[in-house]
Amino acid sequence: MPPEWRTGAMLQFAEGDDVDLTITTRLRIKLPGVAAAMVLAVCAGITLLSSGAAAAQCSTAGLPEGKMPKPTAFAEFLSPEVWTVTTLRAQVTTAAGLPARTTEDVPEKIAAEMYDRDGWIAQELTYLRDGRSDRKMIYQRKEELPPDGVLHYSASNLVVARETMEITADDCGNAVITRTLTDADGGLKEVRTIMHDGNGWEVLATVTDGGGRVQSVTTTTRREDGRPTLIEVRDGEGTVVSRTTREYDERGALLTETVWTPEETTISTFESDVDLNWVVKRNYRMVEAADGGKKNEPVDVLYRFIVSYG
């Protein structure tokens, strides 16, 4: 294994209508009507639920037994006991001519994550083009409980923001994670409220700014096994700003992803390893063809290198 892929060397460093809805986190927020309806659907069990991969259960004050949110690695459908995931990106260029020729640049490392053995994320890094880390996030935990805080570091290793993470239960007994982000001086920047279904899958995430104004609402529809099939993001006014659909094969391996925004549509195809982790993602931009139809223009390729414990 090349040295730069070893985590020990890679990740070590020092420290519609608005509806008023009050949930048991004691946080009062204003949600667009679609979001409030989704919350009610979660409580009523209308959204697809799933058993999913078994995860270690812990007890958190106010949360019923067996209602913990999925650990990060399980929620991202990584194989058990994943240790590190390193992502590289290769730009693709298309030269004019018949037939058009595509060239793939040398891949550059853009991100890396480290996970604890029980599946909870421990560290995240992004990289500059010269290979230096751009920013990093270190998750804080107590014993076997999920993370309860995050330190955000700059490229110069200075703390630029802090997050607290609190897990509570909503009125249906399902998990709610509240992530409160403050700047280095303690000023409130953002509150992210993440609601889960009865099996611990994320189904609704609302982001408010420091003034309590809703910035985005994300709803996720899932298959019976928990895999997302539709992810829709609306802005604070309730307007859809992105819609992502995913398709899988009979084993559950991710095949295609289509991301629509008002500006463009991006289509991605995937290749997976034997453990169903996607390891190659090819991104295409839908553009107009010379004959007036549509064609997929290559944009870039992402490669993931996954290392497991043991």
pLDDT at 52 over 50: no
> Can you spell out the DSSP letters for 137-173?
EEEE--TTSPP-EEEEE-TTS-EEEEEEEEEEE-TTS
Q: CA 59, CA 146: separation in Å to the nearest integer? A: 10
Give the pLDDT of residue 164: 97
Query: pTM for the whole thing?
Result: 0.79
pLDDT at 216: 98
Distances (CA, A) of 274 to 19, 33, 49, 184, 223: 46, 42, 26, 43, 21
**Closest C-alpha among 146, 134, 181 to residue 162:** 181
Residue 290, pLDDT score: 75
Range of lowest pLDDT (25-29, 135-139, 203-207): 25-29
Tokens of 277: 């982790």
| Range from 88-102, 121-135, 175-189 that averages highest in pLDDT | 175-189
**DSSP classification of residue 81:** T
- Phi and psi for 119 in degrees, rounded to 5? 105, -10
Residue carrying the six token digits 């995430």: 205
pLDDT over 90, % of the chain: 68
Query: How would DSSP label each residue in 13-56?
Result: -----EEEEE-TTS-EEEEEHHHHHHHHHHHHT-S-----S---
Residue-level pLDDT at 102: 84
Q: If we measure between CA atoms, which residue out of 134, 155, 131, 129 comes closest to residue 2?
A: 131
Interior angle at CA 112, CA 108 and CA 116, nearest 5: 160
Separation of alpha carbons 229 and 245, rounded Å: 5
Q: The tokens of 230 are what? A: 């539709």
CA atoms within 13 A on the CB side of 280: 7
Task: Say whether pLDDT at 259 is over 70.
Answer: yes
Task: State pLDDT tens for residues 221-256.
Answer: 999 999 999 999 999 999 999 999 999 999 999 999
At 65 the pLDDT is 75
Beta strands in the chain (DSSP E): 18-22, 28-32, 82-95, 101-104, 108-115, 121-127, 133-140, 149-153, 159-169, 175-183, 188-196, 202-209, 214-222, 228-235, 240-248, 254-260, 265-272, 278-288, 294-308
The structure tokens listed for 121 are 């994320």
Question: How sure is the predictor about 186, in pLDDT bands with cuts at 50, 70 and 90?
Answer: very high
Find where tokens 């295409």 sit.
284
Instruction: Identify the pLDDT of residue 19.
Output: 38
Residue 9 pLDDT greater than 90, yes or no: no
Residue 12's alpha-carbon distances to 3, 37, 153, 170, 255, in angstroms, are 13, 44, 13, 37, 34
Question: What is the token pair recorded at 255?
Answer: 């095949």
Q: Determine the 3-state secondary structure of 240 from DSSP.
A: strand
